[in-house]
Amino acid sequence: MKKKLTVLVLALITCFGCKDEKAKSSSANLTAASSITKQIKIPKSTALKMKGGFTKTKDTLASVGIVVPDYYSMTLNGLENILWMDGENGEDDLYDEIKLNFVQYLTTDSLSYPELNRFDKSIYIIFSRVKKGIELPKYFAVFSLNKVIEIAPEDFRKMKKNYEQNIKPIINNRVNNPTGGNTDFIRIARNELSDHYGKIKIYDTKIPDAGKKVKAINICFAEALNLKIEKDFKTSQALQLLDKKNYLENQLTVVFDVESTDSKILDNLSSYDMNTLSPPNR
C-alpha cells in the first residue's frame, strides 16, 4: 500500500489539474479526481454558522446525559486506510462510496472494543463501503483513534439500533421530515474523498514549515441552513450548489476541516462538503 500511495502522490504533484479523459474511468485514480469532483468548498462564514447551529442539538442531548464532541478527527494515515482496501490491484475498484454511519456506543452493551469506551453514550461514526449501491458487510472505527478497529456486523447493528432508539428521536424535532426524521448516515463518493485527500497530501508534501504540516482531518458536526436567506446566496456559486443538495434546515451533517500541527485550521483545505444525507430529504 505504501508504494502505491507514493506513486499516487508523485503523480498528483506532477499532474495536478490534469483532465485526462481516460483517467476518469477509475475513481481510484487520484490524478483524475479533480476533474470530476462534486465537492463544495463552503464559504468560511457559512461553515461556521453550520457548525455553530449544532450547538442547539448538543445542548438538547446534554440535557439527557448524552455528551457529543464538536468533531472527530483522523490522521492522513487514517484517511488512507479509509480510501484503499486490501486486495485492490489499482485498476478495478472494489467500492465506489463511503458511508459514515451515525451510531451510539454504550459500555453497558459489554462489547469488546475498549478503545471506544471514551465515546460512551455519545454519537460516534462507523464507516463502511458501498459498491454499486450494495453495502459491503464490513464496518470500521477510525475516528479519533490511533488505529483502525473492525467492528463485527452484529455489534454494528447494536450500535446503530442504540442511535435509532436513544438519539435520533431526540434530534428528530430539529428537522421537518415526518417520514424519515433526521440523518441516519452520510454517503460520500470515493472519488470526491480521493480528490480531497490529494489536495491535502500535496499541501503536506510541499509545505516546508513543520508547524504548518497536517496534523488531522476533522469531521465536524454541523447542521444545514436555509441558504437562500444568506446574504451572499445570489453571488456565491458554492452556496447555490450546496442549496441544490436540498438539505433540510437543521438536518445533521458534517463539514470537513484540516488542522495543522500548530493547531490552526488550514482555511484553504477546510470547510468542505462532499455529502449526500440519508434518509432522503425533500
pLDDT digits (tens, 9 = 90+) for 28-77: 333 333 333 478 999 999 999 999 999 999 999 999 999 999 999 999 99
Burial of 35 (0-12, 13-18, 19+ CB in 10 A): middle
Indicate the residue type of 83.
Answer: L
pLDDT digits (tens, 9 = 90+) for 131-144: 999 999 999 999 99
Q: What is the pLDDT of residue 39?
A: 87
Asked whether the predicted pLDDT for residue 17 surpasses 60, the reply is no
Nearest-5° angle of CA 208, CA 211, CA 212?
65
**Phi, psi at residue 141, to the nearest 5°?**
-105, 130
